[in-house]
Amino acid sequence: MFILRFLLRRLAQGALIIFLVSALIFTLLRVVPGDPVRLMAGGMAPEALIEEIATDMGLRDPIPVQFTRYMSGVVQGDLGQSFVRPANGAAVGGASFDDSTRSARAEVWDLIADTAPKTIQLACLAMVFALMIAIPIGVWGGLHPGGWPDRIALYTSSVFVSLPNFWLGIILALLLSVKLKLLPAIGYGGFAWTILPALVLAIEIAPFIIRSLTVSVAQIMGQNFIEIAGVRGLSRSQIIFRHGAKNAAVPLLNLLGVQFSMLLGGVLVVEFIFDYPGLGLLTINAVMQRDFPLIQGIAIVTAAAFVLINIVVDLLSTLIDPRLEY
């Protein structure tokens, strides 16, 4: 019953957040410079044709009217059609004014459904790599607060957080792909293409996990119940893994939720550098092409993902620590 109430409440809050995000993105897109119809119809299109297409598409209606029309489609599961992309998904540029001769336009939902799994795969692998890097360093540092493992954790985090991801991406591609020929780097041809960008993302998020783990483990290990656990006859490893780790997991879980959401933003740069055909690359191209429906669709889907991730994280936290209430 608690879970049902919790889910209903959080989903209702989530729907409101998504609505507000959609309204904001929708309005901003329409007030920034750059006429998408010019891009659709091509640079050489006469002004009269531009206006005709814009009017036909309802792009000259007041923003609230356009938004209402758009949202009525969204609630029926229709995110609309891309302004510029043909159904085959190619990134295209404007050139001709024979707009009607363009191939059939792609459905926004299809474009997102085609690219999102690759981004989810990338984000999950990045999270696995980040945990593989962060857990040993963070826990070790937390178990020796003030000692050299703690300093190693601090220095490692500082170095990792200072590396710009575009620079790191190029360096890792040069080293692991060009020089050592260990991994493919550009595009997507299978799971192996995910490893290098995931590594870059992992190094980007690992410092936050390391610091969080170091602090929370150190705090937990300094508490009374840990100190007396030894008196109860528990071994050091039992104390760390059964009591220390479990209690340190709640802040970590919350952080992971935030980091996972951040990853969806971090993929923008990384996917562009590695030409990885995921949601990030799709977003960059959509922004460059002023492809309003696609940008809006991605924003809604991403906002929904943020909301869902946070609900799951909160739910898991309450399961780990029943004292928590959300």
Residues near other proteins, by CB under 8 A: 34-35, 38-39, 42-44, 46-47, 84-86, 88-98, 100-103, 170, 173-174, 177-178, 181, 184-187, 272-275, 277, 285, 288-290
Cα–Cα distance measured from residue 47 to residue 38, given in angstroms and rounded to the nearest whole number:
9
Q: CA–CA distance from 115 to each of 22, 155, 179 (Å)? A: 20, 36, 29
Token couple for 229: 């656990």
CB 207 → other proteins: shortest distance, Å?
25
290: left (phi over 0), alpha (psi -120 to 50) or beta: left
Token couple for 180: 């050592």
Whichever of 196 and 255 has its CB closer to other proteins, that residue is 196
Whichever of 64 and 93 has its CB closer to other proteins, that residue is 93
Q: CA–CA distance from 224 to each of 219, 228, 233, 235 (Å)? A: 11, 6, 15, 16
Whichever of 75 and 180 has its CB closer to other proteins, that residue is 180
Whichever of 203 and 273 has its CB closer to other proteins, that residue is 273
Whichever of 3 and 288 has its CB closer to other proteins, that residue is 288
Cα–Cα distance measured from residue 17 to residue 305, given in angstroms and rounded to the nearest whole number:
12
Length of the chain: 326
CB 118 → other proteins: shortest distance, Å?
11
CB 300 → other proteins: shortest distance, Å?
22
CB 77 → other proteins: shortest distance, Å?
24
CB 177 → other proteins: shortest distance, Å?
4
Whichever of 32 and 75 has its CB closer to other proteins, that residue is 32
CB 30 → other proteins: shortest distance, Å?
16
Whichever of 97 and 208 has its CB closer to other proteins, that residue is 97
Token couple for 155: 């220095």
Give 110-114's long-range contacts (Cβ < 8 A, gap of 24+). Answer: 111/82, 111/85, 111/282, 111/294, 111/297, 112/79, 112/279, 112/282, 112/297, 112/298, 112/301, 114/89
Q: Are 182 and 192 in contact (CB under 8 A)?
A: no
CB 128 → other proteins: shortest distance, Å?
24
